Copies of this chain bind each other. A is one copy, B any other.
Amino acid sequence: MSENNLVISIDAMGGDHSPMVVIEGLSLAQKRNPDIRFLVYGDETKINQEMDKFPALREVCQIFHTEEFVHNEDKPSHVIRNRATSMYQAVEAVKKGEAQAVVSAGNTGALMAISKMVLKTIHKIHRPAIISMMPRQNGRYVMLDLGANTECNGINLAEFAIMGNIFAKHALGLESPRVALMNIGAEEMKGKEEIHNAAHIIKNSNLNLNFIGYIEPHEIPKDKADVVVADGFSGNIALKSVEGTTHLILRIIKQSVKESFLAKLGIPFMLGAMRKLKKTMDPRLYNGAMFVGLNGLSVKSHGGTDAFGFSIAIENAARLIRKDFVGTIRRELENIDLDELSQEACYEVY
């Protein structure tokens, strides 16, 4: 067993092709990050079978057998009552301090529910959120909430702004990320009341945010903001619209090339350009959505990803552990009283 002190717990049974994809993903991540150690939860026989293919990986893994697993159709209210699942055990390892982050490709609602119940929300944060990196011109931006909270008030959104700001500093390496609220217009009174309230709270606070106001979704990919804040419903709509459109366009390109003899002849010339497109838009490169606002890092890998995508989720978790992401949020929140600020905001508005 290695003495690495960067430890990540793994739910080996989540996702479409587990534990195969998960174990291969760990192996890829381990090659690029030899300092990570893994606590692997799930069906020992199946895990061992896969791990036989990667002897170097076995060196940095400790396997914990569980009889039970969370299934895709399991309800969150149901899974939080069963501590015997691989997902629950993996999350609990973070709670116990045995691991600094958990990664699972299982059921999102279940992972969110277990993570919230086991890790608990950070003091002063009202609602945890789901955050992820997304592609844009010349780089990446981060967006939250991507689906944890269907309805949000101004304070929730302001808290997302604080957490998104720290996330962008740590994950994108930015000094002073540009923070924006997603809205359907740039004018002050466009959109919903909670967005206006959030803007007011952020502007009138000492949050030390580089707040640039509202951003409309078509402006987001143009390198105008680094952190895009939205309620979980709108954020999820935006995320899935980007996903659907990307898929549609790539499909049309593929089909058109397939149908044209001339285009097929052109493929060798275009490989480099298409590789660049893939390198920007490949969803695997953005894999690993995080639940932020909890006392511990919980990372959701896409259920349908491959080993490479899973390894990216691992690396995203490792990057934030190295920067002490959760600790930074806790420290920055110590001096902030958003509730007080929001009462002031409401007072001024009405």
Contact = CB atoms under 8 A, between A and B. Distances in A.
Given A256-B272, A262-B269, A272-B256, A184 B245 contact: no
Contacts of A327: none
A140 to B, nearest CB: 12
Nearest to A146: B184
Contacts of A274: 256
A280 B263 contact: no
24 contacts: A136-B248, A137-B251, A150-B191, A150-B192, A151-B192, A184-B233, A217-B237, A217-B240, A221-B248, A222-B248, A238-B241, A241-B245, A242-B244, A245-B246, A245-B249, A249-B250, A249-B277, A252-B281, A253-B277, A256-B273, A256-B277, A262-B269, A263-B270, A265-B269
A241 B249 contact: no
Nearest to A245: B245
Interface string A175-216: 000000010100000011000000000000000000000001
Contact of A220 (B216, B219, B220, B244): B244
Q: How many copies does the complex hold?
A: 2
A337 interface: no
A262 B266 contact: no
Contacts of A221: 244-245, 247-248
Interface residues of A, number: 57
A272 B184 CA distance: 36
Nearest to A262: B269
A220 B236 CA distance: 14
B137 A237 contact: no
A266 B277 contact: no
B266 A135 contact: no
A234 B192 CA distance: 11
Contacts of A219: 244
B244 A218 contact: yes
Given A263-B270, A272-B260, A241 B248 contact: no
A129 to B, nearest CB: 14
A147 interface: yes
A276 B252 contact: yes
Nearest to A189: B75
Given A238-B238, A242-B245, A257-B273, 16 more contacts: A182-B237, A191-B233, A217-B237, A218-B240, A218-B243, A233-B234, A242-B244, A249-B249, A249-B281, A253-B277, A259-B276, A260-B273, A262-B269, A262-B271, A263-B272, A266-B270
A268 interface: yes
Interface string A260-292: 101101111111111011001100000000000
B251 A249 contact: no
